[in-house]
Amino acid sequence: MVGPSITIPVNKARRTGWRRLMLPKLIFTVWLFCWSAHACAYLDPVSGSFLVQSLIAIVAGALVAIKTYWTKLKAFFSARGSEPSLESKGADANEPNDGTK
Amino acid sequence: MTLEVDPGSFRDPSGFVFTKQGQIFRQVNHSYRDHYLFLEEAGLFHEFQERGWLIKHHEVAAEHGASEDAWIVIQPERLPFISYPDEWCFSQLKDAALLTLDMQRRALELGASLKDASAFNVQFRTQGPIFIDSLSFERYKEGAPWIAYGQFCRHFLAPLALAADCDVRLMRLQGQYIDGIPLDIASNLLPWRTKLRPGLAMHLHLHANSIKKNADSRTKALGARTATPHLPKKRLLNLIDHLRDTVSGLNWTPGDSEWFDYYMSNNNYGDEGLEEKERLLRRFLGKGKAQVLWDIGGNTGRFSRIAASCGYEVLCWDIDPGCVEAAYRIQTKESTLPKVVPLLVDLTQPTAARGWQLTERRSFIERADVDCIMALGLIHHLVITNNVPLPKFFAFLAALGQTVIVEFIPKSDSQVQKLLANRDTDPFGDYTLEGFTAAAEELFDIVQQSLIPKSERSLFRLRRKSI
């Protein structure tokens, strides 16, 4: 048995408002893609990889700096350690003997 | 004029590879013009080619292009063979990773950046790894993150970390995942202790977590989804340096590889016998004259290097990651040795065709049809251990090459005795010298045959019959 047909009135005012918003959204989207960083890149820019780079880069920078200074510090103390002591009585075989001691 | 576009070269809109009259070219499209001119002016191509990082190329007329999009066409240097990352040993993949990072770092200094970091962009020649995709570089935009960071971690960091900290055989997962091992899989497989190491903790575990959390971008606002975070160049360089240190710190050494000690103990020659075999082999090989030779089951490359010294361009294939690793390290360490390219393959299930329409990456057999195949100390492993009938063994060899140098190892040999030791009965009735020659003569002509002195083994040189 077929029920009575129901006609849903069209809300002309709402449909017009929806169309009014579509164009600015479209323009905004196109504008954003125009400013995309990689016009020639084709890889899918995975958001997770992008977002995590900033954090990792900051921590990595700190670790690289620590490593650099630690290397310099070790080199500094190694160099100090190999200098002959003023109290030493024997001459270092590798040191040039210029007769000043 | 036969022109064929490489079925594996289609994703990058900057250009593609094609073959014309048997030569390989790379078309550069108009869309890449500005980047190409920038890179030329920055001296990137010249510097990287001089360093041996990037394959050399020269420009040819655009009329040679394969489509109307062509701006120019470049012809790269010839590569003897194309191999795939799941066919490389640990150190090969690591060297490829370090090459990629060194190039990215230097490119950034020159104002450029890699727009992809696929392991397929690297190939191996006897001199070592070389980058083959000249169009992978683009002008760097200040503040932009590295678009290929995720791809680099999937293609290089994940398999290397799995090999170093889990099991080297997990590197074969690269064959399953054509765009690199997903970081969440690697993160789940790696032991907990790797989260305590800053390098893997950040570039792998944290990275995997971030990808997982941001995977579903449909629920996010339109602006948030398309915004690109700002990353100053100095910080990006720090990231590259730290990533390089992380990769550099990953190490794997072959443990008790069963094939590694093959020639060290229990061999069937004795030192003098081995020398006799080498002398006989040289006679059978003759002069290679730059012909291509595949040594299948080549172990650590001892006989491959003999073939190389005879003038052949040699690929040394083996099933054992430890042997391929040793073959690679031996010649990296000793520069005076004749050079080969060692690669990994399981002959009972060699590399299959993969990718889009199964044409993007070609199978092991599709890349064969070489001048000479060498199969020494191999037949008993396929016929006895893997139950491959002799006719099928020769059909396989015939599919690979024109000329075959094959060693027959009889049942009286101690190695075959070991393989038969656990069997109550011997089902290999036709595995005799007579059965071997009868099966060979179905598809090959026997050109030379000789008993190997001081052993019971025989060496054969076969030529494939014309159909």
Q: A20-29, B138-147, B221-230, B325-334: which has the highest mean pLDDT?
A: B138-147
Q: In 3D, which of B442, B287, B450, B394 has the Cα closest to residue B460?
A: B450
Residue with tokens 């009329």: B63
Higher-confidence residue of B253 and B96: namely B96
pLDDT of res. B1: 56
Other Cβ atoms closer than 10 A to B9: 16
pTM beyond 0.90: the answer is no
Residues of B in contact with A53 (CB under 8 A): 145-146, 149, 229, 231, 236, 239
Other Cβ atoms closer than 10 A to B375: 25
Output DSSP code: residue B27: E
Residues of B in contact with A68 (CB under 8 A): none
Are B214 and A45 inside 8 Å of each other by CB?
Answer: no
The model's confidence at residue A85, banded by pLDDT at 50, 70 and 90, is very low
The model's confidence at residue B8, banded by pLDDT at 50, 70 and 90, is confident
DSSP B137-186: EEE--TT---TTHHHHIIIIIHHHHHHHHT-GGGGGHHHH-TT---HHHH
A12: CB partners within 8 A, 6+ apart? none
pLDDT of res. B15: 93
Best probe of the A interface among B30, B121, B226, B243, by most A CBs < 10 A, is B226
Once rounded to an integer, what is the mean pLDDT over residues A12-21?
52
Burial of B13 (0-12, 13-18, 19+ CB in 10 A): middle
8 A C-beta contact, residue B340 and residue B126? yes
Rounded to whole angstroms, the Cα distance separating B282 from B306 reads 7
Are B115 and A50 inside 8 Å of each other by CB?
Answer: no
Beta bridge partners of B123: B130
Q: Both tokens of residue A58?
A: 């900051």
For residue B460, pLDDT over 80 is answered with: yes
pLDDT of res. A90: 38
Give the pLDDT confidence of B261-271 residue by residue, as tens digits.
554 444 455 56
Chain centroid, CA A82 distance in Å: 41
pLDDT of res. B251: 96
How close A6 gets to chain B, by Cα (Å)? 35
Cross-sheet strand order for the sheet of B70-76: B3-5, B15-20, B23-29, B70-76, B57-60
Residues of B in contact with A63 (CB under 8 A): 198, 242
Residue of A nearest to B150 (CA): A49
pLDDT of res. B424: 80
Q: What is the mean pLDDT of chain B?
A: 91
DSSP B234-288: HHHHHHHHHHHHHHHT------S-TTTTTTTSS-SSHHHHHHHHHHHHHHHH---
The answer, for A59 touching chain B at a CB cutoff of 8 Å, is yes
Q: In 3D, which of B229, B83, B87, B85 has the Cα closest to residue B157?
A: B85
Residues of A in contact with B222 (CB under 8 A): 25, 28-29
pLDDT of res. B414: 86
The model's confidence at residue B447, banded by pLDDT at 50, 70 and 90, is very high
Of B141, B146, B214, the CB nearest to A48: B214
The model's confidence at residue A7, banded by pLDDT at 50, 70 and 90, is very low
pLDDT of res. B215: 84
Give the range among A38-47, B161-170, B210-219, B291-300 with minimum mean pLDDT.
A38-47
Q: B67-76, B93-102, B407-416: which has the highest mean pLDDT?
A: B93-102
Best probe of the A interface among B101, B142, B238, B241, by most A CBs < 10 A, is B238
Give the range among B178-187, B253-262, B343-352, B388-397 with minimum mean pLDDT.
B253-262
Of B35, B153, B238, the CB nearest to A60: B238
Residue numbers of B between 146 and 165 with CB closer than 8 Å to A: 146-151, 153
Are B138 and A40 inside 8 Å of each other by CB?
Answer: yes
Q: Both tokens of residue A55?
A: 């954090």
Tell me the backbone φ, ψ of residue A8, rounded to 5 degrees: -90, 120
